[in-house]
A and B are shown apart, each in its own frame.
Chain A
Amino acid sequence: MSVTIAARRRPAVKLAEVVGVVLLIIAAMFALGPLLWTITTSLRTPAEAFTNPPQWIPLHADFSNYSAVFDQIPIGTFFVNSTIVTGLIVVGQTITCTLSGYAFAMVRFPGKNIVFGVFLATMMVPLQTIIIPVFVIVKNLGLSDSLGSLIIPALGSAFGTFLMRQYFMQMPVELGEAARVDGASRFKVFYMVYARMAAPAIATLAILNFSGFWAEFYRPLIFLQSQNNFTLPLGLVGLQGNLGTGSISVVLAGVILAMIPSVVLFIVAQRYFIAGITAGSFR
């Protein structure tokens, strides 16, 4: 396509290109605008925060909101809670899904297709449909209003298993056979040969889980009651509710702080975020 256009640069084509670029830049401004507004408003004094026009370039950046947010809510605690919940789920699912995904792809055992079929079927069911029974189970396990209520039900995943299985399916069986002939145990073949080759899929799953659980609002809203157990999204919504419109810039400072880990991870591992879109959309 690019070749043919380059070959005959008619004026009409050129005009269409310019229009295309302009439209893209406008779209980019709409995509970035709200984020930029959030950053710059978080740098205005609370009294100025709701005055228009917004200050797109923070000439007199005021970082007091960032310390105020620590004074007004236990955002440090929310950070720790979110980190524990997200971290343990990421680690847990990496283990359970890599093990099971490998077995479904590479190991022969009776009933494999039936169990895997059941896994696939559960993937279709939305969280809302199962939330009440999960709530009751969590309560009966004595996990109500604890970080465990968010972590433990999320340690296994049919979707994660599926994702890992798809990746292991593409790998050659001969490698494992050779290692077995050399005397490696079955687990060693998995651990030393295949799990290492699955690093990109593991990274994709970990990033997907990080994005999903770091941002999660619905389960924390239902499972958590005491503020000192709140995760960031729930805590920020509470902050917004408690403070009213007087301290918008403080709330927005909290919003920005909560986004920092995602942005840093995105900068470091952008391609796994993109890979996760194609993979994650199966969820």
Chain B
Amino acid sequence: MTTQPGVREASRATLPLASHRRPGVRREARKEGLFGYLMISLAVVFVAVFTLFPIIASLGLSLFKWDVISSPRFVGLANFQRLIHDGPTLHSFGVTVILAVGIVALQLSLGMFLAVLVNQRRSAWAKTTFRTVFYLPLLASTAAVSIFMGYMFDAKYGVINYYLSLVGLTKVPWLTTTWGSMISIILIVVWQQVGFTFVLFVAALTSVPSEVLEAASIDGASAVRTLFQVKIPLISPTILFATVVAMINALQLFDQPYIMTKGGPGTSTTTATIVMYQTGFQNLQFGYASTIAIVLLLIILAITGLQFLAARKLVFYQ
């Protein structure tokens, strides 16, 4: 523990009775420190016990074999070696990445499209109404969405295939084929989550200074050109942010495939988190499940890192 932070923040500091030479300043500082520790103590205890320690424990457990009943046995990197040759688990990582990329691509582009359209509305009433409408799906729990979407996507009786058949299309086997189930999951997640991206983008677009847009207009730039060459570069930090957050969430996808397809048909929607759940809580292989969890964390960190790297070239900071 250094005292440097305190020194650095001296300008912000509360030194109520302070003149540095006066005796009692040290005692005051000590009192303030004690007050600080008391104030953070509750949060520190809970975060330490239920977040920090579990992170370390997860790392440790990934090096053990543990069936919960007998005591854990140290196996070194054997779990990681097993993972490299574990076809179904590797497949689930592939499924996770494909679904996540599909979700993020659709969610971001649709969110941007809707935000641009709403941003063009002049009446505040229209803006508020559309914002409310696109937010509403977020009020349902993912479990609820999975339940009613499961009925709606039903191949035989579902309302979606009914309307498709009305316009002369054949019934789509949404949840019972490999591609159908993956596309369904992507559509259902995006249906619910797009409002999140949309709200972020509307806020960003609203904050683009009007002088910039007027300048573009005076220079004769078309609306499309203004969008791609002025607005989108200006809000690119928000786009990066939305992409990173959506990707982190999508890589942890669990509820929708677990409830709607149980990861099926076969393993076509079995995400890494589903395999981890089955390994840990159904097959009671806590060590190996921790290994899967750690690898998932590494994948999330790597993909997030990649996005920030790509952003160096693409994102424009004012």
Contacts and interface: CB of A to CB of B under 8 A. Distances in A.
B16 A108 contact: no
A217 B143 contact: yes
Interface stretch (A28-36, A57-65, A66-74, A197-205): A28-36
Given A24-B118, A109-B36, A218 B254 contact: yes
A20 B277 CA distance: 44
Given A107-B35, A132-B293, A3 B214 contact: yes
Select the residue from B1, B9, B34 with max chain A CB neighbours within 10 A: B1
B167 interface: no
Contacts of B2: 110-111
B183 interface: no
A252 B16 contact: no
Describe B's contact surface by its main secondary structure: helix
B20 to A, nearest CB: 14
Nearest to B156: A50
B111 to A, nearest CB: 11
A240 B150 CA distance: 10
A133 interface: yes
Interface of B: 1-3, 5-6, 9, 12-17, 29, 31-37, 39-40, 42-47, 49-55, 57-58, 61, 114, 117-118, 120-122, 130-152, 154, 157, 159, 162, 191, 195-196, 199-200, 203, 210, 213-214, 217, 223, 226, 241-242, 245, 248, 252, 254-255, 258-259, 273, 276-277, 280-281, 286, 289-290, 293-294, 296-297, 300-301
Closest 8 CB pairs of A and B: A156-B46, A109-B36, A215-B141, A180-B16, A233-B143, A100-B43, A103-B39, A133-B54
19 contacts: A1-B210, A2-B122, A32-B136, A34-B145, A35-B136, A35-B137, A96-B42, A99-B40, A110-B6, A113-B5, A122-B47, A122-B51, A130-B55, A134-B50, A177-B16, A180-B17, A237-B147, A262-B140, A281-B196
